[in-house]
Each structure stands twice: as structure tokens, then as C-alpha cells.
Structure 1
Amino acid sequence: MSRPLHIPSPQTPLHLYRQLLREASYLPPIARPYIDKQIKTGFRKHQKHDAKDAQRMRQGKHDLRVLRAANLGDLVRMRRVLLRAFGRMGRRRRELMADLLKKPPPTNTEELAKLAANVSSISSGDRDADWLDAWDTEKLRALAKSQMAAGLINTPKPPITVSNIKPEQAVPAENSWGRPLHPKPARTKLKNAWKLVADKCMPPLPREEWQALGDIVEGVVKGRWLPPPRRPLAQPLAPQEPMRRWDWEAYAVKPVAAVDRPANRRNKLLTGAVDDNTPTGDPEPINCHRYTPRLWRRLLGGIWQLTPVMEPHPAGKGWSIAWGKPKFEPAKATKGALEFFSSLPEPAEPPKGGRKRKQS
């Protein structure tokens, strides 16, 4: 079982940046590129000093603790890291949804004329063009139908219902006074309905990344897909005794539970605190798991089931959508279990001719 790492907290942004990249290097190689990109982008974006430096340092230290706890065996936090890495939640999900909702540019004269007629009809009406006009709603509807039919489990978003597939039904024909609904509130209700559908959908991944994830889950990949082992911490040349000081002032002004909360067995992986009050020594953290290839495949398999790949249909109309679905292979019986079936007769072969129909 993993123990918390007693590493000094970073005091400068550069030190924090290095520790974040070091922790990200212990993630699975398939999930590491986006996490590395997010760390580097955030550091370069806020490289200059400003008034919010202290706030960003606190957020960076929190992210570092989460990554470290996930690498040490916290399955809940590791799953959240993987969900963000593969775009099931967080910033990458918004980026993938933005790519999904973009309408493709016209490829011929007929499509260009149709687009110009649509724009002219909007401009000649009583409203201006808005963001819903730029969405590919038919593509979004096809993805929502496929996701509802797939029956996903353990999704970070609420399930899609039948009413979500038809957002037009959310717009009533009349208001509460029995009069025709004004076009402006009708348009607002329609936009809110489409926004709810987009918030519940799981955006598709690129074909190469989706296939690579599926190969790992199905056991096809035999190469280096596991995270590297953690390098040992640097030790001082001369042995030093740890200097422990009892902070009696905290116990005098705060409740005992609040002071001891960082060293709680549920929080030890996140905080790295040491429990000095237990007579038997520093206890082991709970909810800490040892990562094995089988456990990694189970974690990535749960992510793969939430991930589709979406491509235009070969016939030219509609979309071809495939969801990750690991193959079910029952475990083989052991030698000790096979002895209970040794006395059973062999199954009879079915007749070759099949069942004959009765003649009337």
C-alpha cells in the first residue's frame, strides 16, 4: 500500500511548475499529453506577476495534491483526472463540444446557395442571428440519440431523456393567457433546450485516440502503456532526526477534530500529513489501492465506454457513431472448480435438420 509523500511544499511558481510536471509524468502515457499541455499553457499564460499570484499558487498547490493523491492510489481522484484527460468533463470537453457544434463549410454551389438563403431569411425576419444559428443541431441530435440508446452508466452528466432529443417540444404554442407566444421568448426557450442537450452529451474523440484507448482496454497493446515506477526521493547524506514540535496553540483555539483533520486516514494521501498522536505510529491511509495492469484496464475501460467516435456515414447521409464496448470474457474455471462438473454428461448435439413443421 502506498504511503503519503513527505515532500516540501513549493514556495515559488517555478518550483510548483516543476513538481506538477513531475507528478504528471507518473500518469498513463495515453492520458499524459493533455495534462502536460494544460500545465504548460497555464504556466505560460500567467507567467507575468500580477495581483492574483497568491490565488494561483494556492490553486496550483491544490492541483498538485490532487495529482499526487491520484498517483498514490486514490481511485476517485484518478478517475476524475482521466475524465478530464479524455474530455468527459472540464476544459477539453468544452473544446471537443465546440468542434462538434461547428457547421462544416459549404463544399459546392448548391450548399452555398442554401446557406445564403438561410442567412437572408433570418435577416429579413424579426430577429437577429444568434449562436444557435451557428450550431450543427442535426449532428448534435444524432449524437444525443446514440448516447441515449447506448445506455451509459457512471456518467459525469445527467442521462439524456426522450424529451431532450426534441427540443422544439419545449416551446409552447401559447402563453399563460392563451395568446400566441412572442417570438423572442420562444427563441430563448429553444436555445435553453438545445443548451441542455449539449450539456448532457459526451463529445466524440478523434479516431486515433479512441482506437488507442480501445486497444489498451481489450489487451491488444503489449508495449509501454503502463505509467513508469516512481523514482525514489532524494535523501540527505547525513542522517537527520526529524524535528517535531507540538503545536499546542492550535489545540487551544480550535476544535481537536479540525486540527487533526489533515492527518485523518481519509485525507492523508491528499495532505501528506503525519499522525503523531496515535500510540502505534503513523497509521496507513484508507481507500488507497495498488495499481495493477488489470486495475488500469478497468479504469480506462470505464472511460472508453463513455467515449464515442463520430464519422460521416459512407452513404453520404447521417452519421456513423460507435461507442466503446469492452468484450466480455468470463473467467476460466480453476482445476479445483472443474471437479464439480466432471460427473456431468456431455451436452447432446442439436439435430442437423432442425425442427420440422407440422403439415396441416
Structure 2
Amino acid sequence: MSRPLRIPHPGTPLHLYRHLLREASYLPPLARPFADGQIKDRFRQHQKDDPEGEKTRGRIRQAHHELRVLRAANAGDMTRMRRVLLRAFGRVGRRRRELMAGLLHRDMPTNTEELQKYAAEALDIAAAGREIDWLDAWDLKKLRTFANSQIQAGLVNNPKSDITPAQINPGKSIPTENAWGRPLTPKLARTKLKKLWKTAADKCMPPLPREEWERLGNLVTGAVHDPRLLPPARRPVARSMSGDGPGGRNWDWQSYAIKPVAVVDRPANRQNKLLTGAVDDNTPTGDPQPIECHNYTARTWQRLLASIWRLTATMEKRPDGQSWKIEWGKLEFWPAAASAGDMEFFRDFPEPEKQRKKGKGGT
């Protein structure tokens, strides 16, 4: 879209709920299920809360902000659209925490050998004289394997800071003595170990389910050309038969009388127009175009989703049951073929002469 959406401001929580679902329907189909599910879950979770409570008012303010972000993203704000896609594919936000829980979860023993291994770990904890904590429930071997794979992948435009090799081996970073030269107590050493592992986990980009990862990859690489995988065209906004609607605006002279002009005109600023949807009536040449307003095309969506796919991976256990197969989204670069007019510069091109190795007396 070339202009931000101009529709009446939702006045009730139910009206706001419908507006959020409407804006989420214009997201890419791969990202829409998460957005719809989160909107519906949050509304049903707090549907019976006190409408006059302070927490409810705070949630409504946050919902209005999310609605403005979705409108700006659908109107052409690529920075906010990328942020929405990062949340939808679990690179940041709530879904990332859900995917990380699956990555850190330890599998239940399936045979006697694994059960004996679990029992031996429990005996070691009891012998150390400490209680079982949340770090004991993490699959540290699986986390270290995935973190090492992420380091080797070399992610570009990662929303999190990069993982260092030292962070996937935190046991080596714990000192043996404290600041006074005394041996480190077991409780303090355990606290430091948990903190280092938590830091490493916070920087991981958890793997996606195999089916979702392949669908995203097929759309990015062009293996599937399905128009239904792109966002639908926006339906026109309904207009009143009498002509009364958001188009009929009156000059709010009271605001100009009691507030600075810069404050009153701030919502209609070119930098804020995509977020607020305000109209600038004071420009002689008409309402100007907002800044950073892009026209989404199929190629734009492909590049935007490609930047997300490079941050995703899939992780499966190998048949031996001892290791994992990890694949990251990567695009192979193939230079464009030369045109017919430029082929004359590449035809019958002589091979480069081999350079002689210089010896002690060579020239």
C-alpha cells in the first residue's frame, strides 16, 4: 500500500479485538497462524477481567500499540514487518520461548541403558549434597551441539548477539578461587554455571518443525510458486452512504491554541504517518507520502522471508540415537548469465599464463 490505513479508532475491547484479527489476516499465510493464535489466546485469557482495572487498561493500551504496528507493517513499513515475522517464526518473543522449551527438554528414557544413566546422574547429585534444580532438567549435550552448529553457521542480521565458543563450555570459565584466594563454594560455583548456561541459551535461535522449515525454504528458493502463500490484497474500507466517515474532518483549532504546532502536527509527520495513519492537511501540495513506505511485491516478500529463513534451522535425531542432524537455511549464490551483447567479451578468451616460481636466482 502507498498510504497508511484510515479507519475509525476502535472504542471498545471487542472492537479492538476485531481490528487486530482483521490486520492479522493480511500477514503472509505462514505467519498468520501464530498471530491469530496469540490474539485469540490473550483475548480469551483476560475476557472476564475487571474492565476498569489498572492491568486491563494497560493491556488495552498495549493492544492499541500492537494494532498500530500491524497497520504500519501491512502499509509498507518493512522494518516493522520484519519484526512481526521474527516473532511469528520464533526468532524473538513468545514463540521463541516455546521452541526453546522443546530444545532444552530432556527425552524420557526408552531403554535400560538410558534409565541407568539417569539413575547415575541422580546419585551424583545426591553425593554432591545439593538439590535438583532447573539446570538438571536441561539437555545440555543437545544445547551444546545446537549452539556449536549456530556458531559455524555464521548468522547474518541476528536479532540476538552471537554465541562465543567459550559460552558453550561454561565449566572452563568458572574460577576455582574467589577474590580472597579461597576455594569457591559448591553453591556459588553452581550459581555461576547456571548463569553461564542461561546466557548461552538466550542467544540461541531454536529450530523450527521440519514441515514449517521446508515450506518456508520452498517459498524462498522459488521451488513452489503458489500465489496463496503471499498476503492477500487488502479489501477497500467501507464508506458511509451519507458521506459521513473518517474522511470528514474538522479543524481542531483548540489544540493549536493551547499546544505548540510541532506537538499537534507530530502524528501527521512523514516519519509517523505509517504508525498513526494521520493526514497532513497543512501541506499546500497535498498529503505527502510517508517515509520508508515500500510497495510489497512477490520479489520483496521473497527477500524478506529469505532473511528470516537464514536464521532458522531444523534439528532431527539420527538413526543411531546418539547425534543430531542440523540444517540451516542457506541460499546458494549463482551469478547472472551474461547477456547476448556481452558474450563477445567472454568468447575465445585466452587462458592466463602460469607464473613461474621465483627461486633464489630467479627474476
- TM-score normalised to structure 1 length: 0.92
Q: C-alpha offsets along residues 156-202 of structure 1, whole Å, 9 cap, x if unaligned?
A: 10011121121112210111122211111111110010000000000
For residues 172-187 of structure 1, the aligned pairs below 5 Å read 172-187=175-190
Equivalents in 2 of 1:57, 1:343: separation in Å? 65
Question: How many angstroms does 1:318 deviate by?
Answer: 1.8
Q: Percent identity?
A: 63
Kindly indicate whether residue 269 of structure 2 is the aligned counterpart of residue 267 of structure 1: no
What is the TM-score with the length of structure 2 in the denominator?
Answer: 0.91
**Which residues of 2 match residues 75-224 of structure 1 at below 5 A?**
75-223=78-226, 224=228
Match of 2:236 among 232, 238, 243: 232
Shift of residue 55 of structure 1? 1.8
Give, in whole Å, the separation in 1 of the partners of 2:345 and 2:156: 41
CA distance in 2 between counterparts of 1:328 and 1:182 reads 53
Tell me what 1:341 maps to: 343
SS of corresponding position for 1:276: coil
Q: Do 1:309 and 1:323's aligned partners in 2 also have CA atoms closer than 8 Å?
A: yes
Question: Whole-Å Cα distance in 2 between the matches of residues 253 and 327 of structure 1?
Answer: 60
Return the offset for 1:206.
Answer: 0.4
Give the paired residue count.
347
Once residues 346 and 172 of structure 2 are traced to their aligned partners in structure 1, the CA distance between those partners, rounded to angstroms, is: 59
Cα distance between partner residues in 2 of 1:41 and 1:98: 19
Q: Structure 2 CA distance, aligned partners of 1:268 and 1:302?
A: 26
Deviation (angstroms), 1:343: 5.2
Do residues 64 (structure 1) and 91 (structure 2) align?
no
Flag structure 2 segments of 5+ consecutive residues without an equivalent: 353-363
How far the C-alpha of 1:243 sits from its partner, in A, is: 4.3
Instruction: Tell me the equivalent position of 2:296.
Output: 291
Residues 2 and 288 in structure 1, CA contact (< 8 A), matched pair in contact too: yes
> What letter matches 1:187 in structure 2?
R
Amino acid across the alignment from 1:65: R
Aligned mates of 1:58, 1:199 — CA distance in 2: 28
Structure 1 unmatched ranges of 5 or more? 351-360
Letter of the 1:143 counterpart: F
- Mapped to 2, the partners of 1:299 and 1:199 lie a distance apart of 24
Q: Select between 11-20 and 74-83 the one with higher mean Cα deviation.
A: 11-20
- 3-state secondary structure, aligned to 1:339: coil
Q: Does 1:281 align with 2:286?
A: yes
Match of 2:334 in 1: 329
Alignment RMSD (CA, Å):
1.8
Match of 1:54 among 37, 54, 57: 57
Paired residue for 2:11? 11
Contact kept, 8 Å, 1:218 with 1:327, in 2: the verdict is: no
Q: Distance in 1 between matches of 2:341 and 2:248?
A: 61
Give the 3 Å change call, closer, same or farther, for CA 2–343 of structure 1 in structure 2: closer
Kept in 2: contact 1:170–1:189 (CA 8 A): no
Please give the alpha-carbon distance, in whole angstroms, between the structure 2 residues aligned to 1:243 and 1:217: 43
* Aligned match for 2:321, one of 311, 316, 321: 316
Tell me which moved more, 324-333 or 1-10. 324-333
Q: Per-residue CA shift, 1:68-118, capped at 9, x if unaligned? A: 110111000000000000000000000000111010000011211221221
Q: Per-residue deviation at 1:347?
A: 5.1
